[in-house]
């Protein structure tokens, strides 16, 4: 069966973005469905993207002094229930272990949907004096949340993520940490994914269960819907008070410290697929592409020396630090072109007998389809510049799209037009009330709202309530 799969086409984006998305996930071999309903399998190609994201983020975290730890995957119900808002936020999504070693358990165990409670309980044990602060911890792990409807990478019963948890001596330091981590996430969009995230603060209603403030990064997808892609929370002292996390201060008094948490998940893979993909499949920015250059030889069955030439080319590119694949299988060049186009490999090099004689490579860029002839030596020496050009081209396109799809709305009708027609973000002066938030959600199904850092007002009145406006806020439909 599989040998024929590649020839089948994927659904065009215009026809159904949702079907296109599922097709790409499967046909680019990013994932597979599993026998565990609602759980996916991360196939090598999809997992390699996650590894590239993870390696980059892990380095950035460590530069700031963050250390990795690992907490139990199961949380006793009594511990989980200590923080009221937190429990209420997560209880409906919990998977619960009731049996272990053929015996019913004395106390039910919850598979971690997030680990604040375990971290707090541990902080209580290891934190003694100001000398121990700050505690800057992170863990890479799987979490389970019992979602009803699932979509590969975007929403699943299980996903992979990092959850950072830090404890600080002062409020100022903790607030700075919250924003420092948000900045790392923003920079990840710019430098790794080749698209800009919209960054801002969440509304009271939308913030994390137990947080004082939640900051978010969102990506605007080609269908005009926002995708929440990561969050950074400032907790104040709330969790520490509930869990009894205290320390001896410099002034010799016992105090509660200030806490943060922050996380991004494999959902990021979903944002990359949708942001850059096209009707031929995935389009990956070089920084996270598992294969940055693919080499295909043409007519190598007639000119076997071509294979040696291609292997040499591969070795030279690897010396330049490039992730390169030479597909030596006996499949046709046409099959290979389609395959690596589907997989979004940024640069394809094809070499036929004549190219080899001339020492010139035929190079095709995935993101814009451009085809150029480049002398071999020049290609090898400038490969990292080529990657930069591709990255910048992809970023500029995404930035342009975002700029063109944030609409300042001054009236209810303008708001309605933007949201009902899925045009993108409606940027509105908001009175800050839950009432307006709820109304916009109900009437236009716009569940994303985010208060950008730039709060320069462009009006005095909230067009929905007619009351005095307090904040600039972005509203959009969302995933």
Residues of the shown chain interacting with its own copies in the complex, contacts defined by CB under 8 A = 1-3, 32, 34-37, 39-44, 47-48, 50-51, 67-76, 79, 91-102, 109, 111, 118, 121-122, 125-129, 131-132, 137, 141-142, 144, 146-148, 157-158, 160, 329-331
CB of 341 to its own copies, least distance (A): 19
Q: Which is nearer to its own copies, 9 or 68 (CB)?
A: 68
CB of 118 to its own copies, least distance (A): 7
Closest CA to 183 of 56, 60, 54, 269: 60
CB of 128 to its own copies, least distance (A): 3
Q: Which is nearer to its own copies, 251 or 330 (CB)?
A: 330
Q: Which is nearer to its own copies, 137 or 379 (CB)?
A: 137
Q: Which is nearer to its own copies, 39 or 401 (CB)?
A: 39
CB of 416 closer than 8 Å to CB of 166: no
Q: Which is nearer to its own copies, 42 or 215 (CB)?
A: 42
How far apart are the C-alpha atoms of 72 and 269, rounded to whole Å? 26
How far apart are the C-alpha atoms of 285 and 272, rounded to whole Å? 9
Q: Which is nearer to its own copies, 273 or 386 (CB)?
A: 273
| DSSP β-bridge partners for residue 474 | 427, 450
Query: Widest CA span of the chain, in angstroms?
Result: 83
CB of 310 closer than 8 Å to CB of 254: no
Q: Which is nearer to its own copies, 226 or 322 (CB)?
A: 322
CB of 39 to its own copies, least distance (A): 4
Please tell me whether residue 27 adopts helix, strand or coil conformation: helix
Please tell me whether residue 281 adopts helix, strand or coil conformation: strand
CB of 208 closer than 8 Å to CB of 224: no
CB of 152 closer than 8 Å to CB of 113: no
Secondary structure of 259-280 in the HEC alphabet? Answer: EEEEEEECHHHHHHHHHHCECC
CB of 146 to its own copies, least distance (A): 3
CB of 411 to its own copies, least distance (A): 41
**Number of alpha carbons in the 13 Å side-chain half-sphere of residue 119:** 23
Q: Which is nearer to its own copies, 138 or 259 (CB)?
A: 138
CB of 21 to its own copies, least distance (A): 20
CB of 56 to its own copies, least distance (A): 15
CB of 133 to its own copies, least distance (A): 11
Q: Which is nearer to its own copies, 142 or 280 (CB)?
A: 142
How far apart are the C-alpha atoms of 143 and 71, rounded to whole Å? 12
CB of 383 to its own copies, least distance (A): 21
CB of 213 closer than 8 Å to CB of 465: no
Q: What's the angle, vertex CA 77, arms to CA 114 and CA 73, rounded to 5?
A: 40
Closest CA to 229 of 191, 179, 202, 267: 267
Closest CA to 418 of 390, 459, 437, 446: 446
CB of 244 to its own copies, least distance (A): 13
Q: Which is nearer to its own copies, 105 or 363 (CB)?
A: 105
Q: Which is nearer to its own copies, 40 or 472 (CB)?
A: 40
CB atoms under 10 Å from CB of 354, counted, come to 12
How far apart are the C-alpha atoms of 476 and 450, rounded to whole Å? 9
| Residue 230, burial from CB neighbour count under 10 angstroms (0-12, 13-18, 19+) | buried
Tokens at residue 361, please? Answer: 């490579």
Q: In which region does residue 154 sit, left (phi positive, over 0), alpha (psi from -120 to 50) or beta (all else)?
A: alpha
């Amino acid at each position: 069966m599989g040998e024929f799969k590649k020839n089948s086409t994927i659904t065009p984006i215009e026809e159904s973005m949702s079907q296109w998305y599922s097709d790409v996930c499967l046909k680019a071999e990013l994932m597979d469905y599993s026998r565990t309903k609602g759980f996916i399998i991360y196939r090598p190609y999809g997992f390699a993207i996650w590894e590239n994201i993870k390696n980059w983020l892990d380095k950035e975290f460590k530069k700031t002094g963050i250390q990795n730890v690992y907490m139990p995957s199961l949380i006793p119900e009594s511990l989980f229930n200590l923080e009221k808002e937190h429990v209420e936020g997560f209880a409906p999504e919990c998977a619960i272990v009731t049996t272990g070693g053929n015996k019913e358990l004395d106390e039910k165990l919850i598979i971690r949907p997030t680990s604040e409670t375990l971290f707090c309980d541990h902080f209580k044990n290891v934190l003694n004096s100001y000398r121990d602060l700050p505690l800057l911890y992170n863990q890479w792990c799987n979490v389970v949340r019992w979602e009803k409807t699932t979509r590969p990478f975007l929403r699943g019963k299980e996903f992979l993520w990092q959850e950072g948890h830090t404890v600080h001596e002062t409020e100022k330091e903790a607030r700075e940490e919250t924003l420092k981590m948000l900045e790392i996430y923003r920079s990840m969009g710019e430098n790794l994914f080749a698209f800009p995230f919209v960054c801002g603060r969440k509304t009271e209603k939308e913030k994390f269960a137990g947080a004082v403030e939640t900051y978010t990064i969102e990506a605007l997808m080609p269908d005009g819907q926002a995708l929440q892609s990561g969050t950074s929370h400032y907790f104040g002292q709330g969790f520490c008070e509930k869990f009894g996390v205290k320390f001896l201060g410099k002034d010799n008094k016992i105090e509660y410290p200030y806490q943060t948490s922050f996380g991004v998940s494999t959902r990021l893979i979903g944002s990359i697929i949708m942001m850059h993909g096209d009707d031929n499949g995935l389009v990956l920015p070089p920084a996270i592409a598992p294969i940055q250059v693919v080499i295909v030889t043409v007519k190598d069955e007639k000119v076997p020396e071509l294979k040696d030439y291609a292997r040499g080319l591969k070795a030279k590119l690897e010396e330049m630090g490039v992730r390169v694949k030479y597909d030596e299988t006996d499949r046709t060049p046409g099959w290979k072109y389609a395959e690596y186009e589907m997989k979004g490999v940024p640069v394809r090099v094809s070499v036929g007998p004549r190219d080899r004689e001339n020492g010139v490579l035929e190079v095709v860029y995935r993101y814009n389809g451009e085809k150029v002839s480049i002398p071999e030596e020049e290609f090898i020496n400038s490969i990292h510049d080529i990657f930069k050009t591709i990255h910048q081209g992809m970023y500029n396109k995404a930035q342009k799209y975002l700029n063109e799809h944030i609409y300042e709305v001054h009236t209810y009708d303008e708001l309605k037009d933007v949201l009902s027609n899925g045009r993108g973000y409606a940027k509105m002066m908001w009175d800050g009330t839950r009432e307006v938030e709820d109304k916009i959600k109900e009437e236009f199904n716009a569940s994303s709202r985010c208060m950008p850092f730039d709060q320069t007002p462009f009006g005095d009145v909230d067009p929905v309530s007619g009351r005095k406006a307090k904040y600039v806020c972005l509203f959009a439909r969302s995933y």
